[in-house]
Amino acid sequence: MSNRYEYPFKSHYLTINNQKIHYIDEGQGPVIWMMHGMPMWSYVYRKLIPPLVAAGFRCFVPDLMGFGLSDKPENEHEHTLQSHVAMMAELISKLKLKNIVIVGQDWGGPISLRYALENKSNISGIILLNTFIERFPRNKREQKHDAIITGPLPKIYEILFKSGKLSTYLVCKLDVFRKFVWLKWRTGNPSKALGAGFRRPVDPRAMQNYMFPNSKAESRYAIAAFAKMIPNSNQHPNASYINQIKSELEQWHIPSLVIFPDGDMAWKPEEGMAIAKILTDCEFNLVDNAGHYIQEDAAEEVALLIIQFMQTKISSAYSDVKNKKQRGKVRGSG
């Protein structure tokens, strides 16, 4: 068991493509796969795990390569969106996880959704926290013309984090990305104009655990890579790969839940509402006084919404499948 603050979970590791991948696997019952974004790791879900386990669910919470307790290759080019999806798919296959409900936030959204779309028979439900399902537009004009849900990246973001070697230097050597998104973590960031990483104060002991996995410059190449992987034009290598998510979701009837914060620095509540409208069997919930890292700011509220969704939309179907398997075993032994 870990002695990290509010993280008393047993760590597990599997090697995928010569990289050691860390994950948490707690509880029994229907599987909930919680996928973090960046620059976070499984720690961001720590306060959701105990209530979900107590409610009768199995929590599978991995760390992407380059984050948390997983290996961190010292090469930005090791990271592609497709390779991260493939690594998670292999991890799920090795663990024989079935009938999964995904929970994706930030980059955890596209990663878990791409897996879901490529493995629909293994997915029971979709839960999206603040995230994106299609590329970003170049500007407001293109957003309106092409009816793109997400707004354009702020110019300062593009300059700091999508400018080639300069951005790699700023992210890896000067740690500018984490300082930028975690601004005013001690008090909570009240900015209405820019939004916040954390809207509510973060316990210093928790912040130490957010900081330590990528505390050295050579451990931050994943952060630099993911910032550049955001597709903000049709020419970006990830544009079509992510745009397919929206078009596929429009055709997929599956129980879904969308939960957005009211104070995110990346995505506005109306963007979450638009995602919920695309999903054919979906409920939308807005959480007040929460920033980008909604799992930290509003863990209790988010956990309650997930439990309600699981109990009303998923658990009965899971029980039916389990009972059918048990009846089959009885018949086979007769």
Q: What element of type H or E holds 95?
A: helix 81-95
**Residue 326 confidence (pLDDT):** 58
Using a CB cutoff of 8 Å and minimum separation of 24, what contacts does 276-279 make?
A: 278/133, 278/246, 278/249, 278/250, 279/126, 279/249, 279/252, 279/254
**Residue 284 confidence (pLDDT):** 98
Name which of 313, 326, 293, 327 is nearest 123 in CA terms.
313
The domain tally of the chain equals 1
Q: Is residue 1 part of a domain?
A: no
User: Using DSSP, how many helices (H) and how many strands (E) does the chain show?
Assistant: 14, 8
Q: Is residue 214 part of a domain?
A: yes
**Residue 332 confidence (pLDDT):** 58
**Residue 3 confidence (pLDDT):** 87
CB atoms within 10 A of CB 181: 22
pTM: 0.94
**Residue 152 confidence (pLDDT):** 96
**Residue 331 confidence (pLDDT):** 57
DSSP 41-67: -GGGGTTTHHHHHHTT-EEEEE--TTS
Burial of 245: CB neighbours in 10 Å, binned 0-12, 13-18, 19+:
buried
**Residue 273 confidence (pLDDT):** 98
**Residue 270 confidence (pLDDT):** 97
Residue 67's identity, in one-letter code, is F
Name which of 58, 126, 151, 39 is nearest 96 in CA terms.
58
36-76 tens-digit pLDDT:
999 999 999 999 999 999 999 999 999 999 999 999 999 99
Q: Is residue 4 part of a domain?
A: no
Cβ(134)–Cβ(243) below 8 Å? yes
Q: How far apart are CA 301 and CA 48, in angstroms?
A: 9
Name which of 114, 87, 112, 85 is nearest 101 in CA terms.
112
Domain enclosing residue 118, as ranges: 11-333
Instruction: Dig out the tokens for 275 from the structure.
Output: 């995602």
* Rounded average pLDDT per 10-residue block, the chain, 334 residues: 91 98 98 98 98 98 98 96 98 98 98 98 98 97 96 95 97 97 95 90 98 97 98 96 97 97 96 97 97 98 98 79 57 55
Q: Is residue 197 part of a domain?
A: yes
CATH number reported for the structural domain that contains residue 32 in this entry: 3.40.50.1820
Q: How far apart are CA 232 and CA 239, in angstroms?
A: 7
**Residue 322 confidence (pLDDT):** 59
Q: Under DSSP, is residue 283 helix (H, G, I), strand (E, B) or coil? A: strand
**Residue 247 confidence (pLDDT):** 96
Q: How far apart are CA 297 and CA 288, in angstroms?
A: 10
List beta partners, residue 20: 15
